[in-house]
Structure 1
């Protein structure tokens, strides 16, 4: 009982984070009919800045890290992306009134990663003093790419079999290259490469780091407004998407927390790293994933997978998932 009370107290404290406050504030503004708008170009610039900052720091720390320490968490990140897609394929995609390819696309989007959710988690963790390996954000592509590739391949295999074209093969490499060219993943990988191969310490300390929290607050405001706007799209498709969008992020995050704990026991992966791995799993791609899936599974209705992700998945991952996994880590590792 004491364990539960301690966890609930920590969870309630996390909900008061200013990062989450901006998300909720954006949703409230949209619900009240506010005409406040942030131009799309500014939104994309903010996302680029945040992911460059994360990538630069990760690259600088990877340069100093023992790559052997990254191996098991990276393998687990790949495994988690695959598990999430397979779970969605054999749960959501087989439910009544769910078109199989749309269910698979939704699972792919939830298996992929949200850079904004990752940035929000890092800001909250830094405020809480919860440390993590600086290379942990670099686990992003290890989860993101396998999830998107697997979802697109599975959906196309299903559609090919349904049409009776059993001899047609799905080409995997173009899917991988499209994923790597996505704006979010490109920015993150560029930051990692620059941090790893150059010496960007001065520009990082003087430019990217000071702007991080302010830009993140604007991003959370935009995402709050976007989440409320997407609710109407979610109503147009089967209600199972709403159930999936609310439940899946927490289930995925808990799976990652369990695997992260195994990495902690076997390799010393930090509690903060376990939390970040859980948040990566709980998040759903909001930038690179949708256009990749739209191109890879053109017959799937974007209202289904984007509505489930933006209207419910992302708010659940940020407002509930981040404080949940931080609180869980504080309790579990304090008693370990």
Structure 2
């Protein structure tokens, strides 16, 4: 816990949350700043294509035979985390359904910085893990984001229709999967797997990604400023969720990992990696995907919960917690 508050302050100063807060402040002061819609659409397409490419490249370079069961577990966890938010956070008084589902999508998606933090700590602790275990992240990340978009779309479709029995759920699912956000994401995955885009990825997509993401955060902050009243009475629910969810998701994933360990010999270190990516919440792939896929959700709700609270909990509490559990298991 002594590490939590320094990490909290660091996250508040991070580009993702910092530029979001900057957009909120600018809009609150009555600025006439406008970002043309064409620029926003290009930035969103760029970001989602890059996220998909990185996931596809990671999948192509991994050992698919050994990856099969852990990847299946990661897919199920990504979907399950969204459903947990749907039946917990969304049931809290005053919480808008789309905000809860978007928050679940962001917590189901994976933080690259949290993943990068756990691997050297496993090395320091002398806990072995599969070299390909880092490639599990797109199997959890993409299903979580797509599930959140589909669930939100079904809800909005039912709400607009007024009756649940007449809603064509499969048509809504199809429309969600064919939406520009999901299409760009899946296109990137396919190109990453089927082609070798590393030269253009390293020279074009990777260097520009964080800069474009910062601009998107300003846009989302300006939108969030117009909707701050929605959060004033319910912010405590998002804070409570962000404190509890990473630990709950981590234990759920660690349990999945132990089952696979018994079936296939998946390492205890691999179980820790799976637990930590489940405990993490996205600050890179999630915001642009959810902004495009669930435009009615309030960015200040799901980004604030994830970046300000969820990430410090995952790094300061969940990583040492699951490494400690792994050490105690290996010692027996």
Q: In 2 relative to 1, CA 109–86 (structure 1 residues): closer, same or farther, beyond 3 Å?
A: same
User: Which secondary structure does the structure 2 equivalent of 1:328 belong to?
Assistant: helix
Aligned position for 2:245:
248
Q: In 2 relative to 1, CA 191–333 (structure 1 residues): closer, same or farther, beyond 3 Å?
A: farther
Deviation at 1:323, TM superposition (A): 0.8
Question: Is the 1:271–1:329 Cα contact (8 Å) retained in structure 2?
Answer: yes
The answer to whether residue 67 in structure 2 is matched with residue 70 in structure 1 is yes
Q: In 2 relative to 1, CA 22–311 (structure 1 residues): closer, same or farther, beyond 3 Å?
A: closer
Using the size of structure 1 for normalisation, the TM-score is 0.67
Q: In 2 relative to 1, CA 325–191 (structure 1 residues): closer, same or farther, beyond 3 Å?
A: farther
Question: Is the 1:148–1:293 Cα contact (8 Å) retained in structure 2?
Answer: yes
User: Which secondary structure does the structure 2 equivalent of 1:239 belong to?
Assistant: helix
User: Which secondary structure does the structure 2 equivalent of 1:113 belong to?
Assistant: coil
The answer to whether residue 141 in structure 2 is matched with residue 144 in structure 1 is yes
Aligned equivalents of 1:138, 1:192: Cα separation in 2: 12
Q: In 2 relative to 1, CA 55–22 (structure 1 residues): closer, same or farther, beyond 3 Å?
A: farther
Question: Is the 2:191–2:197 Cα contact (8 Å) retained in structure 1?
Answer: no
**C-alpha RMSD over aligned residues:** 3.9
Aligned position for 1:26:
10
Aligned position for 1:102:
99
The answer to whether residue 124 in structure 2 is matched with residue 127 in structure 1 is yes
The answer to whether residue 181 in structure 2 is matched with residue 178 in structure 1 is yes
The answer to whether residue 259 in structure 2 is matched with residue 262 in structure 1 is yes
Q: In 2 relative to 1, CA 181–115 (structure 1 residues): closer, same or farther, beyond 3 Å?
A: farther
Aligned equivalents of 2:145, 2:71: Cα separation in 1: 17
Q: Deviations over 1:210-237 (max 9, x none)?
A: xxxxxxxxxxxxxxxxxxx9xx989744
For structure 2, the 5+ residue unaligned runs are: 15-49, 200-220
Aligned equivalents of 1:164, 1:57: Cα separation in 2: 41
Deviation at 1:190, TM superposition (A): 8.1
The answer to whether residue 332 in structure 2 is matched with residue 332 in structure 1 is no
Aligned equivalents of 2:115, 2:185: Cα separation in 1: 17
Deviation at 1:68, TM superposition (A): 2.8
Greater Cα offset, 165-174 or 143-152: 165-174
Aligned equivalents of 2:303, 2:243: Cα separation in 1: 13
Deviation at 1:69, TM superposition (A): 2.1
Aligned equivalents of 1:174, 1:317: Cα separation in 2: 33
Question: Is the 2:181–2:293 Cα contact (8 Å) retained in structure 1?
Answer: no
The 5-angstrom pairing of residues 1-336 of structure 1 reads 23=7, 26=10, 62=62, 65=63, 67-164=64-161, 166-167=166-167, 169-170=171-172, 171-174=175-178, 178-179=181-182, 181=184, 236=232, 237-335=234-332
Question: Is the 1:97–1:238 Cα contact (8 Å) retained in structure 2?
Answer: no
Using the size of structure 2 for normalisation, the TM-score is 0.68
Aligned equivalents of 2:288, 2:128: Cα separation in 1: 34
Aligned equivalents of 2:13, 2:88: Cα separation in 1: 35
Q: Deviations over 1:161-195 (max 9, x none)?
A: 111164463224335x7357459x96x9988889x
